């Protein structure tokens, strides 16, 4: 798999997890501590997604140096 494809898959995973944690935060709003935990986790996933977007930009600017990488995306394909 090439690096750009792997980063695309990982970005989707981080986006999905962030949305899931935001949803959990909303449905647990009756317990502020639990809701805040899920909101913090969602923020972490958003940060990860932004890091991956940065890595995508760096990889695009150095595309000639990209090699195939070994990444098993079977488990990630559910996202």
Q: What is the pLDDT along the chain (79 residues), one digit of tens a residue?
A: 688 888 999 999 999 999 999 999 999 999 999 999 999 999 999 999 999 999 999 988 887 766 677 777 676 666 6
Q: What is the pLDDT of residue 60?
A: 87
Give the separation between CA 57 and CA 47, rounded to whole angstroms.
16
Q: What is the pLDDT of residue 77?
A: 67
Quick check: 14 and 54 in contact, CB under 8 A?
A: no
Residues paired with 2 in a beta bridge: 68
Q: What is the pLDDT of residue 43?
A: 99
Q: What is the pLDDT of residue 76?
A: 64
Residues paired with 68 in a beta bridge: 2
Give the separation between CA 67 and CA 19, rounded to whole angstroms.
31
């Amino acid at each position: 798999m090439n690096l750009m494809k792997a980063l695309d898959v990982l970005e989707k995973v981080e986006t999905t997890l962030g949305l899931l944690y935001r949803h959990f935060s909303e449905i647990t709003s009756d317990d502020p501590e639990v809701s805040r935990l899920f909101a913090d986790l969602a923020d972490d996933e958003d940060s990860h997604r932004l890091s991956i977007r940065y890595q995508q930009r760096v990889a695009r600017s150095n595309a000639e140096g990209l090699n195939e990488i070994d990444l098993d995306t079977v488990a990630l394909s559910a996202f």
